[in-house]
């Protein structure tokens, strides 16, 4: 599976305006709205069976909607308890297996917490686990890209540099760049120059493939000294989303942009219109 040839906008989960809260109806609603993608939210666990996944794949193909997956929240590849690491690996694996059957190519997950460990120590641990896991997925012909997400709190492993480095060091791993999280992590990353710095980092470390095959999350966000508090609608936040859209256009980014605002479809359409007007 190759990456998309342009930038597609869509929703995290079923669009807010969907009449029913299931994936099939959500895919139909995404197409009705004129959006191009949807992220399947497995955040409370991978509860979808293979038969349903095949139906979702067919529905998405028929509607021309690209899918991705967000894995369960309960993942920590740096837990002090080996059984929790094993469970985390299994959750990523199940997300990838069922997501692949759905036709999803990108599998997003929150990688780890630092606890009291250094960035380098956690990096080595996460690297080793993902190296093994990508090998297992390749052996089973599960054709996906694992996407560790940039995280919104300083206690969480998942800075821009850490996740881009994982993408450079491991085949079939690329970052999910969450621009709201990057902003919340330090209160910066909120100007054209800073957005350009993020995209330039991706390009310099991952080459043009990095920009041609991006997976991004965007929303408004409330944050404090410790980072992310909760997601907001764009107009209720200080995120300079128009400047972000300008940077994405200037860098000719392709891929999927998933909106995680509470009003996920309204803000996805706002981002799509803003991008199109530049």
- Phi, psi (degrees; rounded to nearest 5) at 19: -70, -30
Give the model's confidence band at 2: pLDDT under 50 very low, under 70 low, under 90 confident, else very high.
low
Are the C-beta atoms of 44 and 60 separated by less than 8 Å? Answer: no
Write out pLDDT tens, residues 148-161. Answer: 999 999 999 999 99
State how beta strands 227-232 and 220-224 pair. Answer: antiparallel
Burial class of residue 225, CB neighbours in 10 A (0-12, 13-18, 19+): exposed
Cα–Cα distance between 254 and 89 in angstroms, integer?
Answer: 29
pTM (predicted TM-score): 0.96
List the domains of the chain with CATH numbers.
7-277 (3.20.20.150)
Write out pLDDT tens, residues 194-245. Answer: 999 999 999 999 999 899 999 999 999 999 988 899 999 999 999 999 999 9
Q: Average of pLDDT values for 272-277?
A: 98
Beta strands per DSSP E along the chain: 7-12, 37-41, 66-70, 106-109, 112-113, 145-148, 156-157, 176-178, 214-218, 220-224, 227-232, 255-259
Statement: residue 1 has pLDDT above 70? no
Mean pLDDT of the chain: 96
Task: Write out 158-207 in H/E/C secondary structure.
Answer: CCHHHHHHHHHHCCCECCEEEHHHHHHHHCCCCCHHHHHHHHHHHHHHHC
Q: Average of pLDDT values for 19-42?
A: 96
């Amino acid at each position: 599976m190759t990456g998309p040839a342009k930038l597609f906008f869509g929703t995290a989960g079923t669009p807010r305006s969907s009449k029913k809260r299931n994936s099939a109806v959500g895919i139909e609603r995404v197409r009705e709205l004129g959006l191009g993608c949807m992220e399947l939210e497995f955040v409370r666990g991978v509860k979808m069976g293979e038969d349903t996944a095949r139906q979702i794949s067919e529905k998405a193909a028929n509607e021309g909607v690209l899918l991705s997956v967000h894995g369960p929240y309960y993942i920590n590849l740096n837990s002090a308890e080996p059984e929790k690491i094993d469970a985390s690996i299994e959750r990523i694996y199940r997300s990838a297996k069922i997501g692949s059957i759905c036709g999803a190519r990108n599998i997003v997950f929150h990688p780890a917490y630092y606890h009291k460990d250094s960035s380098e120590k956690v990096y080595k641990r996460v690297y080793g686990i993902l190296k093994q896991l990508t090998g297992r997925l390749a052996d089973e012909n599960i054709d996906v890209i694992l996407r560790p997400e940039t995280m919104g709190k300083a206690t969480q492993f998942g800075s821009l540099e850490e996740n881009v480095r994982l993408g450079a060091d491991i085949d079939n791993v690329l970052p999910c760049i969450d621009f709201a999280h990057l902003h919340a992590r330090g209160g910066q990353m909120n100007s054209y120059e800073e957005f350009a710095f993020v995209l330039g980092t991706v390009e310099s470390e991952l080459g043009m493939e990095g920009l041609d095959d991006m997976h991004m999350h965007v929303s408004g966000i409330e944050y404090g000294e410790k980072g992310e508090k909760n997601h907001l609608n764009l107009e209720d936040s200080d995120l300079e989303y128009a400047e972000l859209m300008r940077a994405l256009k200037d860098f000719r980014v392709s891929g999927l942009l998933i909106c995680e605002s509470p009003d996920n479809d309204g803000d996805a359409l706002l981002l799509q219109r803003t991008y199109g007007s530049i």
